[in-house]
């Protein structure tokens, strides 16, 4: 045994010398060959990761107008509060009586989300928006099963929807029915009417939708669905557009998810952790995942006694550290959340008005917090949307979301958020106009971008299929 460890230990690496593994692990499971891990000192490892972090792009480095993702600035006070010892060292199995502060925070976050969404009850468990969708669809399924309406197998999803909507519904066993958008980029009411029958369980909608356009017929839609005995699911990814101005309850929705990592300034990207709380109307409360956080007689509790709960959807109680950050943001902003939405909408409209004409704007409507251009004209001149995105990187901009939503050719989806001042928006506008001009003059040159990034143009197919992740000295 010992010789294997001796062999695998380099001069600088850490060695588990006197470890008596053989006493605890069956012989046939013990490794016989040298493990072959790189042998590096702490300093070398630190340099490696620092180098990687320097290559990374983040909002602290520059403008990040990634549509649909709400890459707003995450205030650093959130990090400070989440790292307080009594929050981050609390064990999830600690008794309720020992965890009153943490439970209070969760309860109060639930209450804040109830006010913001207009809903009656909340679970904080889901770990992301897509996970919230799955949770919400499980609730809807159980609701109809409890009523004995097993026929309700269909879920209507607009053709502009995020791919997770249909995926989540499908995972719950629903059949997806697509409803078309009309010329204004909104759900087409006549098409919707033709799809409604007694088998429809729900519609999943995003409002403002993924084109950044407010669905002006949403009240008619909710009336149509409800009189059909169906429910309405609200994908809250675009909640940053409406905070304090309206809410999904007023629009007639029954189930809502909120992406805390989008709207409520918690870290985002790189796979998480995030949080996708789900808020429901009174009649769906009995289906929420357990435990729900309650407050009675001055005591906060994790309550497992929920009549028709769909069960647990996540280990423990969700990503608690993310909940701390989101609650800190909500407390800090207070009524100014309304102004954040207003600024997000103003910023998006400002950029839209300056770029339309040079780039095609397929749905020329006042937008909410984001809008979608088409790079069709530039594509004909020799540079597609991907090329424009790469060119932007040379001016230290994170590219916008591209090729989504699917109903816009060569889509360029821009969401500036409220975090940026006018000078930054002007700089971005100027760069977008410059790129359009370069494409007219000399498209070949534009196609050489990115030139300034640590990694230049990659073969994206190969990079996805055969990623090279091996450490190299
Ligand atoms: C981001 C997003 C989702 C999915 O949310 P995640 O938190 O990334 O899982 C769903 N719908 C829309 C419109 C989104 O922008």
CA of 187 to the centre of ligand 1 (A): 19
Ligand 1 atom 15 nearest Cα: 68
Atom nearest to 128 CA in ligand 1 = 7
Ligand 1 site-directed mutation target among 72, 130, 136, most atoms within 8 Å of CB: 130
- pLDDT tens per residue, range 180-220: 999 999 999 999 999 999 999 999 999 999 999 999 999 99
CA of 276 to the centre of ligand 1 (A): 9
Q: What is the pLDDT of residue 26?
A: 81
Token reading at 161:
């929807």
- pLDDT tens per residue, range 433-472: 999 999 999 999 999 999 999 888 888 899 889 988 877 7
Q: What is the pLDDT of residue 473?
A: 64
Ligand 1 atom 5 nearest Cα: 129
pLDDT at 7 over 90: no
Judge if the beta carbon of residue 185 lies within 6 A of ligand 1: no
pLDDT at 343 over 50: yes
Query: What is the biggest distance separating any 2 CA atoms in the chain, rounded to whole angstroms?
Result: 76
Question: Region 27-44: what's the mean pLDDT?
Answer: 84
Judge if the beta carbon of residue 128 lies within 6 A of ligand 1: yes
Cβ 329 vs Cβ 243: under 8 Å? no
CA of 238 to the centre of ligand 1 (A): 9
Question: Region 395-416: what's the mean pLDDT?
Answer: 97
Please enumerate in sequence order all residues whose Cβ is within 8 A of that of 285, keeping only pairs 6 or more positions apart, or say none.
120, 121
Residue with tokens 């609701």, as numbered in its chain: 143
Cβ 258 vs Cβ 252: under 8 Å? no
Judge if the beta carbon of residue 401 lies within 6 A of ligand 1: no
Task: Determine the Cα–Cα distance for residues 225 and 248; give it in Å rounded to an integer.
Answer: 15
Task: Determine the Cα–Cα distance for residues 289 and 195; give it in Å rounded to an integer.
Answer: 31
Task: Determine the Cα–Cα distance for residues 467 and 471; give it in Å rounded to an integer.
Answer: 12
Query: How would residue 20 be classed by pLDDT, with cut points 50, 70 and 90?
Result: low
Q: Mean pLDDT in the chain?
A: 93
Q: Is 398 left (phi over 0), alpha (psi -120 to 50) or beta?
A: beta
For 223-243, the DSSP string reads HHHHHTT-EEEEEETTGGGTT
CA of 210 to the centre of ligand 1 (A): 10
pLDDT at 12 over 90: no
Q: What is the pLDDT of residue 21?
A: 63
Q: Which helix (H) or strand (E) holds 123?
A: strand 121-123
Cβ 157 vs Cβ 234: under 8 Å? no
- pLDDT tens per residue, range 284-331: 999 999 999 999 999 999 999 999 999 999 999 999 999 999 999 999
Task: Name the most confidently modeled range: 25-29, 58-62, 387-391.
Answer: 387-391
- pLDDT tens per residue, range 255-277: 999 999 999 999 987 656 899 99
Cβ 257 vs Cβ 133: under 8 Å? yes
Query: How would residue 3 be classed by pLDDT, with cut points 50, 70 and 90?
Result: very low
- pLDDT tens per residue, range 451-462: 999 888 888 899
């Amino acid at each position: 045994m010992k010789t294997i460890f001796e062999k695998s230990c380099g001069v600088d690496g850490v060695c588990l010398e006197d470890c008596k593994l053989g006493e605890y692990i069956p012989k046939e499971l013990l490794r016989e060959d040298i493990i072959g891990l790189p042998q590096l000192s702490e300093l070398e490892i630190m340099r490696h990761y620092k180098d990687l972090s320097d290559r990374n792009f983040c909002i602290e480095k520059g403008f990040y107008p990634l549509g649909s993702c709400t890459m707003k600035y995450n205030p650093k006070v959130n990090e400070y509060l989440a790292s307080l010892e009594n929050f981050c060292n609390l064990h999830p199995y600690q008794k309720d009586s020992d965890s009153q502060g943490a439970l209070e925070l969760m309860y109060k976050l639930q209450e804040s989300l109830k006010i913001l969404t207009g809903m009656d009850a909340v679970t904080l468990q889901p770990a992301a928006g897509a996970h919230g969708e799955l949770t919400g669809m499980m609730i809807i399924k159980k609701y109809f099963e409890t009523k004995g309406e097993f026929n309700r197998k269909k879920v209507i999803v607009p053709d502009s929807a995020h791919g997770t909507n249909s995926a989540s519904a499908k995972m719950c066993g629903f059949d997806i029915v697509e409803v078309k958008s009309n010329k204004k980029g909104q759900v087409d009411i006549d098409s919707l009417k033709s799809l409604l029958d007694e088998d429809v369980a729900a519609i999943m909608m995003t409002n403002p939708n993924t084109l950044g356009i407010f669905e002006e017929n949403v009240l008619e839609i909710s009336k149509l669905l409800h009189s059909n005995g169906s429910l309405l699911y609200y994908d809250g990814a675009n909640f940053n557009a409406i905070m304090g101005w309206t809410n999904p309850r007023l629009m007639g929705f029954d189930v809502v998810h909120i992406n805390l990592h989008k709207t409520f300034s918690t870290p985002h990207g790189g796979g998480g952790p995030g949080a996708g709380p789900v808020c429901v109307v009174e009649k769906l409360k009995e289906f929420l995942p357990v435990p729900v956080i309650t407050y009675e007689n001055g005591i906060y509790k994790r309550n497992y006694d929920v009549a028709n709960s769909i069960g647990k959807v996540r280990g423990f109680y969700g990503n608690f550290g993310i909940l701390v950050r989101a609650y800190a943001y909500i407390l800090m902003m207070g009524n100014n959340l309304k102004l954040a939405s207003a600024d997000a909408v103003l910023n998006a409209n400002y950029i839209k008005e300056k770029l339309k004409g040079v780039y095609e704007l397929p749905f020329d409507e006042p937008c909410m917090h984001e809008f979608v251009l088409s790079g069709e004209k530039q594509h004909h001149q020799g540079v597609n949307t991907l090329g424009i995105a790469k060119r932007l990187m040379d001016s230290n901009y994170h590219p916008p979301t591209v090729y989504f939503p699917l109903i816009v050719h060569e889509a360029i989806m821009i969401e500036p958020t409220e975090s940026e001042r006018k000078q930054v928006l002007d700089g971005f506008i100027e760069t977008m106009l410059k790129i359009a001009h370069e494409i007219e003059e000399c498209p070949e040159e534009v196609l050489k971008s990115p030139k300034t990034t640590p990694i230049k143009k990659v073969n994206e197919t190969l990079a996805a299929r055969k990623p090279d992740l091996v450490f190299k000295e």
